[in-house]
Amino acid sequence: MTFTLQELADFCGGELHGDPTEKISGAAGLSEAVPGEVTFYADPRYMARLRKTRASAVFVPLDFSEETAAAQIRVANPSKAFEQVVLKLAPKPIAFAPGIHPTAVVDPTAKLGKGVSIQPHAVIESGAAIGDNTVISAGSYVGHESVIGQSCLIYPNVTIRERTQIGARVIIHSGAVIGADGFGFEFVDGRYRKIPQIGIVQIDDDAEIGANTTIDRARFGRTWIQEGVKIDNLVQIAHNVILGKNSVIAAQTGISGSTRVGEKVMMAGQVGVIGHLTIDDNTIIAAQSGIAKDLPGGAWFGSPAVPLPDAKRQIAWIHRLGKLFDRVKALEKKLGL
């Protein structure tokens, strides 16, 4: 698919500075773009890349005043305009026809809504219910009495264990395991004995679960992923954890049992959280932080985590220790110590 620059500008509601007849057939980042492609610039940190880009055109902010070799399309939000063009240039999304593949195993007691697609080698156990227009992709497993809402997309090789409750428009990526037993054991008579894990996992509307992420079922009650939560790949959510609405959890984070995470919380990669804590709404936790106490909001960093300004100050102090040591040695030499 090919567009003229004028067509792209009209499509995005932008102001064109360049040849309106020039053809665009692709889109790429500033560093990767080649002639015939459009890119975008939205962050002053990338000015050097903008000056070197080989793209034919670039989306820039409305108040952009620099000269560039590439034609400019000035828009209110360059990133969003670029996204719209990428979607327009991209091939159509893969669509799955409704129906049950002959190799799938669907228990006669399972309830399937209208337009449901069950792909090859998927297994739907007894008492399960799947909402309208949901796709269960190849090799995925839906356990006994689990309920999945409408318009969900369950990618290949997802395991959804028994009695899991999933809302509408939820996306679960390959390799995720929902509802495995919580890590519960007690030491009795010189050996560890399993504590029964008889609760469920509940995932509310519009959540997204990354590849190879695990969400454990509750010991009793529920592990609860609330509306709009976005979880990256390789995240571990333990039993009875609650993740508040619209929180975002990045890769390799681990949250221990019975921790309550508020709404609109952001956890960067490799954060570790011990159990039975409360993290307030709108908290931001920087990468590789270790959380060992309740957090009252704000930005935190370090292990154990401290408020971000304190963490920056401590890092600066550590970096100055070498010079401080040299100064002390020089003073000791002058004093004959």
Give strand pairing partners of 166.
148, 203
Catalytic site residue from 121, 144, 173, 239: 239
Residue that the structure tokens 């309740």 belong to: 294
Q: Is 173 a catalytic residue?
A: no
> Sign (positive/negative) of CA torsion 157, 161, 162, 166?
negative
Give every CB contact of residue 238 below 8 A, 6+ residues apart in sequence.
182, 183, 216, 223, 254, 255, 256, 257, 258, 259, 275
Q: Please state, in angstroms and rounded to a whole number, the distance separating the CA atoms of residues 282 and 265.
A: 5
The single-letter code of the amino acid at 276 is H
User: What DSSP string describes 276-291?
Assistant: S-EE-TT-EE-TT-EE
Q: Are the C-beta atoms of 229 and 247 separated by less than 8 Å?
A: yes
Residue 24, classed as helix, strand or coil, is strand
Rounded to the nearest angstrom, the gap between the alpha carbon of residue 111 and the centroid of all alpha carbons in its chain is: 30
Residues 248-261 as b or e (16 or more Cβ within 10 Å = b):
bbbbbbbbbbbbbb
Show which residues are catalytic. Answer: 239
